[in-house]
């Protein structure tokens, strides 16, 4: 199961794009839009039938004492890529997330505009997803909301080399300082969910940071101008899931 989940996220998020790879036939518009994902391929059936799907509207969270997030950061080589579905930054080893006894290593981070998850019915203009994986192949996603405000200097480092064409990639001359990109406090909501792209594999730990950071209107428009369409999956039913505060 975990091996399949790892393969799924590699395909869905396009960790690397090779010349011999066939394009993924799903998207956000027309006959390949989210409402059709479950019928596009037998591998995508969870997009339609899954009961623990993401994203969700976070509300009525259960207050409890869940594990604090311990994040470690290491500057290293970063590759930015336009995979046609998002703008993604692949990172080198050394960035980790620990919750209690579990430790996950950051693989990549990417963006959705507008936000996929909502907090008490509020949608944000941009959302970042930091995709982590542990040694067993389980996945955890740390979600960061951006609200319109001052220009974000860390986002600017990535945006200045944002590839305009699909399958274009570049090594960032100024790597994003992930620690500086994230808010000072790591208070978060936690729930069990799925990938928000086909094949919509479940069993993904979601941690949505409560505190948003800023991005300018121009930075948000730059992202839209490159993708040419919104890239957010619609909200999915909780189906009885409990969100932990």
CATH number (domain holding residue 86): 3.10.200.10
The pair of structure tokens assigned to 170 is: 């570049």
Largest Cα–Cα separation, the chain: 49
Q: Is 241 part of any domain?
A: no
**pLDDT band at residue 8 under the 50/70/90 scheme:** very low
Q: Is 233 part of any domain?
A: no
Q: Is 187 part of any domain?
A: yes
Q: How many domains are contained in the chain? A: 1
**pLDDT band at residue 99 under the 50/70/90 scheme:** confident
Q: Exactly one of 25, 59, 85, 129 is catalytic; which is it?
A: 85
Specify whether 85 is catalytic.
Answer: yes
pLDDT for 97 equals 97
Q: Does the pLDDT at position 10 exceed 70?
A: no
Distance CA 236, CA 62 (A): 19
Q: Does the pLDDT at position 1 exceed 70?
A: no
Task: Tell me the pairing of strands 139-148 and 126-133.
Answer: antiparallel
Q: Does the pLDDT at position 14 exceed 90?
A: no
Share of the chain above pLDDT 90, in %: 86
Distance CA 81, CA 162 (A): 7
Determine the average pLDDT of the residues in 51-77: 94
Q: Record the pTM.
A: 0.91
Determine the average pLDDT of the residues in 195-213: 98
Query: Could you list the residue range(s) of the whole structural domain that residue 41 is in?
Result: 2-14+27-227
Q: Is 49 part of any domain?
A: yes
Distance CA 185, CA 206 (A): 17
**pLDDT band at residue 50 under the 50/70/90 scheme:** very high
CA dihedral over 83, 35, 43, 131, signed as positive or negative:
positive
């Amino acid at each position: 199961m975990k091996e399949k989940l790892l393969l799924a996220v590699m395909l869905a998020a396009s960790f690397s794009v090779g010349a011999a790879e066939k394009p993924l036939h799903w998207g956000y518009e027309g006959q390949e839009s989210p409402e059709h994902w479950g019928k596009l391929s037998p591998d995508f059936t969870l997009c339609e039938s899954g009961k623990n799907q993401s994203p969700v509207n976070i509300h009525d969270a259960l207050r409890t004492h869940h594990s604090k997030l311990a994040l470690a950061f290491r500057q290293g080589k970063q590759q930015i890529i336009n995979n046609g579905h998002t703008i993604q930054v692949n990172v080198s080893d050394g960035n980790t997330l620990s919750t209690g006894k579990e430790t996950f290593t950051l693989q990549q981070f990417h963006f959705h505009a507008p936000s996929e998850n909502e907090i008490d019915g509020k949608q944000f203009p941009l959302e970042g997803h930091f995709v982590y994986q542990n040694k067993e192949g389980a996945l955890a996603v740390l979600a960061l909301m951006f609200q319109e405000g001052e220009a974000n200097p860390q986002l600017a480092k990535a945006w200045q080399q944002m590839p305009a064409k699909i399958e274009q990639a570049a090594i960032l001359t100024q790597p994003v300082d992930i620690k500086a990109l994230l808010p000072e406090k790591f208070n978060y909501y936690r729930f069990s969910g799925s990938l928000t792209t086909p094949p919509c594999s479940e069993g993904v730990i979601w941690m949505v940071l409560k505190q948003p950071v800023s991005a300018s209107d121009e930075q948000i428009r730059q992202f839209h101008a490159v993708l040419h369409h919104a890239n957010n999956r619609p909200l999915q039913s909780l189906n009885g899931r409990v969100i932990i505060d």
